[in-house]
């Protein structure tokens, strides 16, 4: 009899606990309220990484992103021969000339080439030029490591695209015109940020993919004696310049010429009048 009472008590306790859990579960279900998607603001919609923007993921850089740019200058016996050599070397290393200019061509011929060459061929081209030249007057090579910036930009771009996708989902669920306009404005702002970030990423890719080398070479003309033809040419040039300056000075003094002419005309008229008076 006692055993039956104990068993009945345990059974009743289990039933009571089961009812309590069911009640709690039903309370949680009935108390759940679904948030209206249209009530979300920019602060409510956060992209991955925004919740913990201060902490950076432990990225492993498998390939360094390096930007190489250098400048070299040297003297050459023949600008024409050096230019021919450089064109062949540039073509061989799959590069191209992005800018070319000539300075002081008459007295000291100098040519400056801005060369873009694949990053992997930068050192090869530089060594070929050095072998041909023998010794540089000046040489400066800079290497910028933009690996961290590269990773940061790619991460931000990914987050912005995910954020844009979330707003696109909200736009599809929007029912009122006011909600549609607000969401479209946010999407426009995010799209502008994405395009700006993509532009920076393209620039870095271009700089990493192609290195820049500025090559300056000049031809020293030996000091020579007196050249009659050259001196005549210089004299005519300087004389013509002096004559033009003289004309300009005369033109600038036009008020004095007018006053002087008026005085001369008055004196001449006075003398003529005096002569006529004497004759009478």
- Residue-wise pLDDT for 16-44, tens only, equals 454 444 444 344 433 333 334 444 444 44
Measured over the CA atoms of residue 68, residue 73, residue 78 and residue 80, the dihedral's sign is: positive
Percent residues over pLDDT 70 in the chain:
69
Average pLDDT score, the chain? 76
What is residue 160's predicted lDDT score, i.e. its pLDDT? 94
Per the model's pLDDT, the better-predicted residue between 147 and 228 turns out to be 147
Q: Cα(98)–Cα(80) distance, rounded to whole angstroms?
A: 19
CA distance 143 to 165: 38
Map tokens 């736009």 to a residue: 171
Over residues 61-80, the pLDDT tens digits come to 557 888 899 999 999 988 89
Q: What is the pLDDT of residues 88-105, one digit of tens each?
A: 999 999 999 999 998 875
Least confident window among 39-48, 118-127, 132-141, 256-265: 39-48
Inter-axis angle of helices 228-252 and 254-279, to 10 degrees? 70
Specify the pLDDT at position 250.
Answer: 78
Indicate if the pLDDT at residue 224 is higher than 60.
no
pLDDT given for residue 268 in this prediction: 78
As a whole number of angstroms, the distance between CA 2 and CA 14 comes to 19
CB 121 within 8 A of CB 94: yes
């Amino acid at each position: 009899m006692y055993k039956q009472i104990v068993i009945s008590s345990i059974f009743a306790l289990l039933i009571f606990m089961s009812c309590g859990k069911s009640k709690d579960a039903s309370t949680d279900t009935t108390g759940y309220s679904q948030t209206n998607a249209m009530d979300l603001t920019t602060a409510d919609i956060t992209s991955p990484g925004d919740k913990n923007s201060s902490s950076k993921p432990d990225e492993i850089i498998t390939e360094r992103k390096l930007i190489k740019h250098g400048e070299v200058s040297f003297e050459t016996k023949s600008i024409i021969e050096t230019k021919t050599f450089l064109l062949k070397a540039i073509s061989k290393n799959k590069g191209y000339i992005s800018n070319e200019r000539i300075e002081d061509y008459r007295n000291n011929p100098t040519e400056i080439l801005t060369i873009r060459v694949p990053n992997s061929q930068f050192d090869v081209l530089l060594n070929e030029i050095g072998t041909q030249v023998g010794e540089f007057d000046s040489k400066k090579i800079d290497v910028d490591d933009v690996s961290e910036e590269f990773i940061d930009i790619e991460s931000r771009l990914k987050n912005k695209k995910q954020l844009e996708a979330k707003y696109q989902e909200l736009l599809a669920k929007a029912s009122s015109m006011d909600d549609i306009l607000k969401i479209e404005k946010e999407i426009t702002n995010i799209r502008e940020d994405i395009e700006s970030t993509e532009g920076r990423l393209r620039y870095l890719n271009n700089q990493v993919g192609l290195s820049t080398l500025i090559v300056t070479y000049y031809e020293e003309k030996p000091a020579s004696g007196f050249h009659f033809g050259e001196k005549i040419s210089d004299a005519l040039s300087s004389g013509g310049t002096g004559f033009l300056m003289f004309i300009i000075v005369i033109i600038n003094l036009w008020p004095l010429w007018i006053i002087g002419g008026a005085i001369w005309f008055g004196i001449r008229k006075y003398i003529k009048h005096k002569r006529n008076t004497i004759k009478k």
